[in-house]
Protein backbone atom coordinates (compact mmCIF):
# COMPACT_ATOMS: atom_id res chain seq x y z
CA UNK A 1 0.00 0.00 0.00
CA UNK A 2 1.19 3.50 -0.70
CA UNK A 3 1.13 6.40 1.74
CA UNK A 4 -1.99 7.94 0.21
CA UNK A 5 -4.00 4.75 0.57
CA UNK A 6 -3.09 4.57 4.26
CA UNK A 7 -4.10 8.16 4.95
CA UNK A 8 -7.21 8.41 2.80
CA UNK A 9 -10.11 6.26 3.93
CA UNK A 10 -13.59 5.58 2.60
CA UNK A 11 -16.38 4.46 4.90
CA UNK A 12 -19.93 4.25 3.52
CA UNK A 13 -21.27 5.26 6.95
CA UNK A 14 -19.15 8.40 7.23
CA UNK A 15 -19.45 11.66 5.27
CA UNK A 16 -21.74 10.05 2.71
CA UNK A 17 -19.05 7.58 1.71
CA UNK A 18 -16.76 10.33 0.45
CA UNK A 19 -12.99 9.95 0.90
CA UNK A 20 -11.77 11.28 4.26
CA UNK A 21 -8.45 11.75 5.98
CA UNK A 22 -7.45 8.92 8.36
CA UNK A 23 -11.02 8.12 9.34
CA UNK A 24 -11.70 11.66 10.56
CA UNK A 25 -14.61 13.71 9.33
CA UNK A 26 -12.28 15.84 7.23
CA UNK A 27 -13.05 15.06 3.62
CA UNK A 28 -10.50 15.06 0.84
CA UNK A 29 -12.76 17.58 -0.91
CA UNK A 30 -12.47 19.92 2.12
CA UNK A 31 -8.68 19.91 1.80
CA UNK A 32 -8.90 20.43 -1.96
CA UNK A 33 -11.28 23.37 -1.44
CA UNK A 34 -8.82 25.02 0.94
CA UNK A 35 -5.96 24.51 -1.51
CA UNK A 36 -8.10 25.99 -4.28
CA UNK A 37 -8.75 29.02 -2.08
CA UNK A 38 -4.99 29.56 -1.99
CA UNK A 39 -4.14 28.30 1.48
CA UNK A 40 -0.72 26.75 1.89
CA UNK A 41 -0.22 23.30 3.38
CA UNK A 42 0.93 24.94 6.62
CA UNK A 43 -2.12 27.22 6.77
CA UNK A 44 -4.41 24.22 6.30
CA UNK A 45 -2.73 22.39 9.20
CA UNK A 46 -3.15 25.55 11.31
CA UNK A 47 -6.84 25.68 10.32
CA UNK A 48 -7.40 21.94 10.87
CA UNK A 49 -4.89 20.95 13.58
CA UNK A 50 -5.81 17.25 13.46
CA UNK A 51 -4.24 17.12 10.00
CA UNK A 52 -0.57 16.50 9.31
CA UNK A 53 1.40 17.81 6.35
CA UNK A 54 1.66 14.21 5.14
CA UNK A 55 -2.15 14.07 4.95
CA UNK A 56 -2.16 16.96 2.52
CA UNK A 57 0.61 15.33 0.51
CA UNK A 58 -1.51 12.18 0.35
CA UNK A 59 -4.44 14.20 -1.02
CA UNK A 60 -2.24 15.78 -3.67
CA UNK A 61 -0.68 12.46 -4.65
CA UNK A 62 -3.86 10.41 -4.85
CA UNK A 63 -6.59 9.78 -7.39
CA UNK A 64 -9.40 10.27 -4.88
CA UNK A 65 -10.06 13.83 -5.97
CA UNK A 66 -11.51 12.40 -9.18
CA UNK A 67 -14.41 10.97 -7.18
CA UNK A 68 -15.67 14.49 -6.58
CA UNK A 69 -15.74 15.65 -10.19
Instruction: Render pLDDT for 15-40 as a digit per residue (tens, 0 to 9).
Output: 999 999 999 999 999 999 999 999 99
pLDDT of res. 6: 87
* CATH of segment(s) 3-62: 1.10.10.10
The predicted model scores a pTM of 0.84
User: What does DSSP assign to residue 11?
Assistant: -
CB 65 within 8 A of CB 35: no
Task: State the Cα–Cα distance between residues 48 and 50, nearest whole angstrom.
Answer: 6
Amino acid sequence: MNEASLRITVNPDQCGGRPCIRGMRIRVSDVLDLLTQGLTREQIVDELPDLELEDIDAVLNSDTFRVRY
